[in-house]
Structure 1
Amino acid sequence: MSHLDEQLQSVLETLDECRKVLNQSNSRETAELLSIVILDLRMRLKGIDNADLRALCDEMVRSAASEPPPPSKQTQDQPRRPLLRVVK
């Protein structure tokens, strides 16, 4: 791991902590924006470019289009699972 990667990893850890604090203080929108920044940084560290992310999103949309109809009203009141999950 290069020195720059180590520095970016440290920044990533700090951003994760900031996001936790924002979530605890009910600043959900700001925490979600920070999640996007965290995702971008993790993609850079893992060597994933925008074209790879676009291909993943396109495939997810195609898969969702072929899924059965949405569940009944009772299950719609439950929070949705996010389509993308940030992986450390």
Structure 2
Amino acid sequence: MSHSDEQLQSVLETLEECRKVLNACNSRESAELLSIVILDVRMKLKGIDSADLKALCDEMLRSAASEPPSSSKQTQDQPRRPLLRVVK
């Protein structure tokens, strides 16, 4: 692991702790924004560029569009599932 990767990993750990605090304080919007930053840092660490992410999103949207309408219906009481899940 290079020095810059080690620095990014340290930043990532700090950002994840900040997100936990924001979630605990019910600052959902701020925590969601921080999740985007966390995703960006993880992508840099893993060598994934924005074109790869766009291709993944496009494929997920195509897959979701081909699902039967009954499986994608949600009521207003249910939160919408995110199209992407951030994984370590």
TM-score, with structure 2 as normaliser: 0.91
1:45 corresponding residue in structure 2: 45
Where structure 2 has 5 or more consecutive residues not aligned to the other structure, the ranges are none
2:55 corresponding residue in structure 1: 55
Where structure 1 has 5 or more consecutive residues not aligned to the other structure, the ranges are none
Q: Give the drift of 1:82.
A: 1.6
Q: Percent identity?
A: 84
**Displaced runs of 4 or more, over 6 A:** none
- Map residues 7-86 of structure 1 onto 2, 5 A cutoff: 7-71=7-71, 76=75, 77-86=77-86
Instruction: State the superposition RMSD in angstroms.
Output: 1.7
Taking a change above 3 Å as real, the CA distance of residues 45 and 72 of structure 1, as seen in their structure-2 partners, is closer
TM-score, with structure 1 as normaliser: 0.91
- Give the aligned length: 87
